[in-house]
Structure 1
Amino acid sequence: MLAVEHDGPLMILRINHGKVNAFDLDLVRAISHQVQDLGPAKGVVITGTDRIFSAGVNLTRLLENDVAYTAAFVTELDALVQSIFELSVPMVAALTGHAIAGACLLAAACDYRVMAQGRIGVTEALVGLPVPPASLEVLRFTAGSRTAGLVLSGRTVEANEALALGLIDEVTTQDSVERRAVEVARQFASTPAQTFALHKQMLRADASRRIREALTDHATLVAQAWTGEEPRQFAGDYMSRLKSHK
C-alpha cells in the first residue's frame, strides 16, 4: 500500500492502495510509521499513482467497521497531519491527480505542493463529518482566509484555481510532477538541517500553538461527531447517492 524508495538523501513515499488510494487506518499507520522513522533521509517526497494522489477517506471501510475503528481513524489521521506539519525535515507533495478530503489535508501539511491534474479540496462537509481540529489549523496555515469557504462549501477545485487559492504552490505536467517535487525537496534539504528545522519551527510556531489549543478544545467533540449515529447515517446516505450517479 506504500512503497518506500530512496533518491540520494530523499525518501520517496509512493501511495498505491486500491483503485483510488483511499485512506483507511492501515494506510494512515503505514505513512505514520515512515514519517516517524526517516533514518538518514534528509527530506521526503510523497506521491501517488499515475492518475491519482488519493480520493480521501475510505468511507466504505469506515462504515463497515465499528465506532472504535472510526475513532482510531480520525484521531490517527489528525495526528499524522500534525506530525507532517511539524516534521523537522522538508516534505514535498507530488500530487499526480485528485487530492480529496484527508489527502488534501495531508498535502496542506507539507512544505510544498506540486500538482499536475485533478481536483483538490476538503469535502468533509458534504459527507457530514467535521474536519479534525489539528488538520483544520494546518489548512488555515496553508489557505489563509480562504479556509472557511473551502471547509463550509466542501467544494473541490482544479489545479490552476488551487494555485490561486494557495492550496498548492506549483502546477506542472503529469510527466514532470514527481521530478519537480524531488527537485524542490532536494533544494530544501541542501541547507543545513538545523537551519531548515528552525526556519520551519519559527514560521509555523503560531499555527502549532493553535493546533494544541484546538486539540484541547475540539478533539473529543470531533471524535464524537465522527462516531455519532446521525453523522454516520448522513455519510452512508452520501455514499448511496454517489453510487446511484455512477
Structure 2
Amino acid sequence: MNTIQIEKKEHYTIVQLNRGKVNAINHEMVKELTVTFTKLENDHEVKGVILTGTPHFFSAGLDVIELYGYDEEQIEAFFKAFGQLHIQMATFKKPMICAITGHAPAGGCVFAITADYRIMAEGDKYTIGLNEVAVNIQISNNLIDAYSFWIGRGKAHEAILDGKLFKAQEALSCGLVNKVVALEEVLPMAERKMKQFLKANETILVNTKQKLRKSWLRNLETDGGKDLGEAIELWWSPEIRSKMKDFVESLQKK
C-alpha cells in the first residue's frame, strides 16, 4: 500500500492515511481504502476499525492538483469510486472510530462522517466540514444525508450552503465530533473507546449499529445516477474549470 498504513491490534485494526504531508485523496488512495475495508469486513478476527491520519492532517480533502489533470474517463472513474467508497464505509457493519489528527475538510469529512465515533485534535487551527460549495465541487445527496444524520437537517443545510468549516470546539458543540482532546491523545483515546465498544457482544453490536443507521442508510443512492452525472458535467464546465485552475495555482504556490 502506497497511501495508507495498516496496523493490526488484538481484535481491531488501525488504518492510517499516509500520503504526503496533508493526506490528499487521489484515486490510488480510494482504491487502496476500498480493498482494505473489503478485507476488514470479511476478516472474522477483526472486530472493529480505527481510521486515522498523521499529525496535523487527517486529510485535507481531494487532491485537486492531481484531479485537475485527469481526463474525462479518469475523473468519471474517480468520482464513481469515491462515491462507492463512502457507501462502503457508511454501511461497514463493524464499529468504526475516526481519530481525527488535525484538518478534515471536504473529502476528509466525507470519511469521518461514516464513523460511529469521532475524536478530534483540539485547537482553533484544525477544522472539519463539508465545504464542497466553497471549493466548486458538487455535493451529493448521500453526503447531505450523512451530514444531516449527525448534525441535523437545518444545521447541515446552513453549513453546506455557507461552505462552513467548523473549528474543533464548534464541531463538538453541534455533534459533528464526539470528543476533542490534545493531538497526542487522539489515537490513544480512540483505542480506549474501541476497547470499550468491543466489550459488548459482537452480534448485538453489529445489529444495533444497523438499527441506529436505518433511517440514514435506507435512502442511500447506490448507483451514482443523477448525482454522478451532475458532478462530472459541472467539473468540465468552463466557469468551474477556470475557478479550479485559479485554485490549483494558489495551492501550487504554497
Question: TM exceeds 0.5?
Answer: yes
Segment drifting more, 211-220 vs 124-133: 211-220
Q: Say if 2:84 and 2:222, in contact at 8 Å, map to a contact too.
A: no
2:55 aligns with one of 50, 57, 64:
50
Match of residue 27 from structure 1: 29
Q: Say if 1:122 and 1:155, in contact at 8 Å, map to a contact too.
A: yes
Return the alpha-carbon distance in structure 1 between the equivalents of residues 236 and 76 of structure 2.
Answer: 7
1:142 aligns with one of 150, 153, 158:
150
Q: Say if 1:71 and 1:227, in contact at 8 Å, map to a contact too.
A: no
Shift of 1:229: 4.0
Segment drifting more, 213-222 vs 163-172: 213-222
1:79-129 Cα distance to aligned partner (Å, 9 max, x none): 111211111101100001000101101101100000013111122111211
Q: Which amino acid aligns with 1:6?
A: K
Q: Say if 2:119 and 2:190, in contact at 8 Å, map to a contact too.
A: yes
Number of equivalences: 245
Q: Say if 1:82 and 1:135, in contact at 8 Å, map to a contact too.
A: no
1:75 aligns with one of 77, 80, 85:
80
Match of residue 120 from structure 1: 128
Unpaired runs of 5+ residues, structure 1, are none
2:229 aligns with one of 220, 231, 237:
220
1:18-48 Cα distance to aligned partner (Å, 9 max, x none): 1210000001111111111112210000111
* Residue 227 to residue 75, structure 1, CA distance change in 2 (3 Å): farther
Match of residue 102 from structure 1: 107
Q: Say if 2:80 and 2:224, in contact at 8 Å, map to a contact too.
A: no
Q: Say if 1:104 and 1:120, in contact at 8 Å, map to a contact too.
A: yes
Tell me if 1:131 matches 2:159.
no
SS of 2:55's partner is: coil
Unpaired runs of 5+ residues, structure 2, are none
The TM-score with structure 2 as length reference comes to 0.90
* Residue 69 to residue 28, structure 1, CA distance change in 2 (3 Å): same
Return the alpha-carbon distance in structure 2 between the equivalents of residues 4 and 74 of structure 1.
Answer: 25
Q: Which amino acid aligns with 2:25?
A: F
Match of residue 158 from structure 1: 167
SS of 1:161's partner is: helix
Q: Say if 1:89 and 1:189, in contact at 8 Å, map to a contact too.
A: no
1:12 aligns with one of 11, 14, 18:
14
The TM-score with structure 1 as length reference comes to 0.92
1:201 aligns with one of 207, 210, 232:
210
Return the alpha-carbon distance in structure 1 between the equivalents of residues 172 and 144 of structure 2.
Answer: 19
Q: Which amino acid aligns with 1:123?
A: N
4+ residue segments displaced more than 6 Å: none
Q: Say if 2:89 and 2:114, in contact at 8 Å, map to a contact too.
A: yes
Tell me if 1:189 matches 2:198.
yes
Q: Say if 1:85 and 1:109, in contact at 8 Å, map to a contact too.
A: yes
Q: Say if 1:129 and 1:235, in contact at 8 Å, map to a contact too.
A: no
Shift of 1:223: 3.4
Q: Say if 2:83 and 2:224, in contact at 8 Å, map to a contact too.
A: no
Of all paired residues, the percent bearing the same amino acid is 29
Q: Say if 1:11 and 1:44, in contact at 8 Å, map to a contact too.
A: yes
2:243 aligns with one of 218, 231, 234:
234
Return the alpha-carbon distance in structure 1 between the equivalents of residues 217 and 235 of structure 2.
Answer: 24
Return the alpha-carbon distance in structure 1 between the equivalents of residues 94 and 5 of structure 2.
Answer: 20
1:41-88 Cα distance to aligned partner (Å, 9 max, x none): 100001111221110000011011112222122221121112111111
